[in-house]
Structure 1
Amino acid sequence: MKPYYWESQHGNFGDDLNLWLWDFLLPGFREIHPETLLVGVGTVLNRALLPEGTHKLVIGSGFGYGTLPDMSDRQEWDIRSVRGPLTAAKVGVAPELGVIDPAVMVADLPEFQDLGKIYKRSFVPHWESAIAGLWPAICDVVGLNYIDPRGEAKDVIRKIAQSELIVAESMHGAILADAFRVPWTAVSTSNSINSFKWNDWAQTLGVTYKPRRVPVSTRAEAVIKGSRFWGMDFEPKEPPPEDPNRRNIDGDVVVAERAPRHSSLRGAAKRVLAAPSALALWHASRATPQLSKDSALAERKERFQVVLEGIRRDYF
């Protein structure tokens, strides 16, 4: 089998963990059934992403973007589980197959056991926010450890586990925090954050997705998200081709990182402009966090293990 995952050119730990998680959950899967594509962690049940005519084994994937593929052909699709009940309803399978996001199983890997706490509070933004925002500087101001979701997946996950509290705009930031029993608070910087996929996962564990609103931190971030920055509206549009620091990813304009060219005075001015973002993030980090019940998480993980046992029986 070959694992499928959505590969961001910038990196995104919630997708990149597919590169090694399945070797732990299904040892030896790469050596069997070369005709089968293992479709695992991620919001990837999308007609534009998955190839037609290839046998696909779906284990915990979610819907949330684009158009759902026609998954009625059971010769092509072996759906063992999906992320949650909302995806199950969309796909048209029994709600019992909406088990859990497989990323929760990362907490069982030996290398992530007995990690001590290093960070009191950490912030994990969405990858789009990380590209164009001032979040590392804002975290410095408000006393949060900044975790870049574009970093090497195991390093990102380790920092989540080593935190006492997580403020998460990244859904997998919250999923991994909950899996490691780290209380978390959800935030959102724009309407572009996909609430369907959040609620899909949240309903499996009995938690709620009611993100606290945090304003975007820069004009570039507002452009990406079609959001407001100091009262001005920006609609995403194709940038001039001569600008080498912009890219178009899945229809959204993304401003690539570049070497800083501003003076310390200009940098200070940008931090002042980002003051509303800092204040909102500070309040979010002091809000009452949530965490699923131990029993709810354990029950879902047990159900997922049953799914894995069925796959081992039928494929190995």
Structure 2
Amino acid sequence: MQNFGDLLGPLVVRRTVAHLNLVRPVLPTRRRLVAIGSVIHLARNKDVIWGAGVNGKMLHALGRVGGLDVRAVRGPRTRERLLSLGVSCPPIYGDPALLIPHLMRVDQDGRRQKRDIALTHVPNLNDRETHGSVTLDPRSPLEECIDRIRRSELVVGSSLHGVIIAEAFGVPAVLIAPKHEDMFKYEDYYGGTGRTSFRVAASIDEAVKADLNDPPVFDPEALLGAFPADLWRS
């Protein structure tokens, strides 16, 4: 079952490679790049980590993670967990999906900045609650999801990448408490964007009425600078 958040990694990596004028990988294919998502527990020895995070539901599986080449992680909670396991991890934070507006250059076309959708609800894939036309199915095509979110005046929901894409485009976003997800990844993302506390609503109605969180504090150049360009031939 496809989730739009799972497709963001390949999209961002492809666009970053093009942005940096890189071409084909020079290292053996067994050395993988792990980027975006709560997937570090799936990493193998010598894999390169760029902006990925720890899954709060898979902490028991981290004991076998070692020998990683970490360039950046989603947030401080992931870094603390890796350091506790003896994995070297620089304090460079951010989900690479935050780079999408920078990489897509959407600001070059004024028409792309219109906000003609009042409200978009993006549930986590495991929640998948539908509330009429305001709900964006996270299984929708990736470009459709990005377009809908950036055209919205407000985004609410339990999808972490729904929140991230919204904030990347400057769209206010309010997290709705997930029913089936651990809070680790949400705390990790907000912490990695300069926020030690954030509002969590219990429902769409509550989210619409809630005070907005502070906007993310994020340096795209730092995350781009941490991209493992050495895996490609320039």
Taking structure 2 as the reference length, what is the TM-score of the superposition? 0.83
Which of 10, 20, 24 matches 2:11?
20
Structure 1 partner of 2:31: 36
Residues in 2 aligned to 1:84 and 1:189: alpha-carbon distance in whole angstroms: 19
User: Are 2:201 and 2:210, in contact at CA under 8 Å, matched by a contact in 1?
Assistant: no
Which of 52, 56, 77 matches 1:61?
52
Question: What is the SS of the residue equivalent to 1:129?
Answer: coil
1:72 aligned onto 2:60:
no
- How many angstroms does 1:117 deviate by? 1.4
- How many angstroms does 1:30 deviate by? 4.7
Relative distance call for 1:63 and 1:210 in structure 2 (3 A) is same
Using the aligned pairs only, state the percent identity: 24
* Deviation digits for residues 270-315 of structure 1 (CA, Å, limit 9, x no counterpart): xxxxxxxxxxx2232122222425xx22xx322112212xx22575
Residues in 2 aligned to 1:197 and 1:78: alpha-carbon distance in whole angstroms: 21
Which of 177, 182, 191 matches 1:194?
182
Counting strand residues as a fraction of each chain, which structure ranks higher? 1
Question: What is the SS of the residue equivalent to 2:32?
Answer: strand
* Deviation digits for residues 155-187 of structure 1 (CA, Å, limit 9, x no counterpart): 101111110111121011111111111111111
Structure 1 partner of 2:174: 185
1:61-210 correspondence to structure 2 within 5 Å = 61-64=52-55, 65-66=57-58, 67-73=61-67, 77-92=68-83, 93=87, 96-110=90-104, 112-113=106-107, 114=110, 115=112, 116-130=114-128, 133=129, 135-137=130-132, 140=133, 145-190=134-179, 192-207=180-195, 208-210=197-199
User: Are 1:44 and 1:61, in contact at CA under 8 Å, matched by a contact in 2?
Assistant: yes
1:213-224 correspondence to structure 2 within 5 Å = 213-214=202-203
Question: What is the SS of the residue equivalent to 1:59?
Answer: strand
* Deviation digits for residues 219-270 of structure 1 (CA, Å, limit 9, x no counterpart): xxxxxxxxxxxxxxxxxxxxxxxxxxxxxxxxxxxxxxxxxxxxxxxxxxxx
User: What amino acid is aligned across from residue 204 of structure 1 in structure 2?
Assistant: G
Residues in 1 aligned to 2:177 and 2:90: alpha-carbon distance in whole angstroms: 29
- Mark the runs of 5 or more structure 1 residues left unpaired by the alignment: 1-9, 215-280
Structure 1 partner of 2:224: 305
User: Are 1:45 and 1:69, in contact at CA under 8 Å, matched by a contact in 2?
Assistant: no
- Mark the runs of 5 or more structure 2 residues left unpaired by the alignment: none
Which of 215, 218, 227 matches 1:292?
215
User: Are 1:59 and 1:80, in contact at CA under 8 Å, matched by a contact in 2?
Assistant: yes
Structure 2 partner of 1:45: 40
User: Are 1:136 and 1:146, in contact at CA under 8 Å, matched by a contact in 2?
Assistant: yes
User: Are 1:88 and 1:98, in contact at CA under 8 Å, matched by a contact in 2?
Assistant: no
User: Are 1:17 and 1:154, in contact at CA under 8 Å, matched by a contact in 2?
Assistant: no
User: Are 1:105 and 1:301, in contact at CA under 8 Å, matched by a contact in 2?
Assistant: yes
Question: What is the SS of the residue equivalent to 1:58?
Answer: strand
Question: What is the SS of the residue equivalent to 2:127?
Answer: helix
Residues in 2 aligned to 1:283 and 1:105: alpha-carbon distance in whole angstroms: 29
User: Are 1:13 and 1:151, in contact at CA under 8 Å, matched by a contact in 2?
Assistant: yes
User: What amino acid is aligned across from residue 105 of structure 1 in structure 2?
Assistant: L
Q: Flag the structure with more relative contact order, 1 or 2, with Cα contacts below 8 A and sequence separation at least 6.
A: 2
Relative to structure 2, which stretch is displaced further, 110-119 or 85-94?
110-119
Relative distance call for 1:147 and 1:24 in structure 2 (3 A) is same
* Deviation digits for residues 111-153 of structure 1 (CA, Å, limit 9, x no counterpart): 64342212011111111222xx3x133xx5xxxx221111111
* Larger Rg belongs to: 1
User: What amino acid is aligned across from residue 164 of structure 1 in structure 2?
Assistant: E
User: What amino acid is aligned across from residue 99 of structure 2 in structure 1?
Assistant: M
Taking structure 1 as the reference length, what is the TM-score of the superposition? 0.63
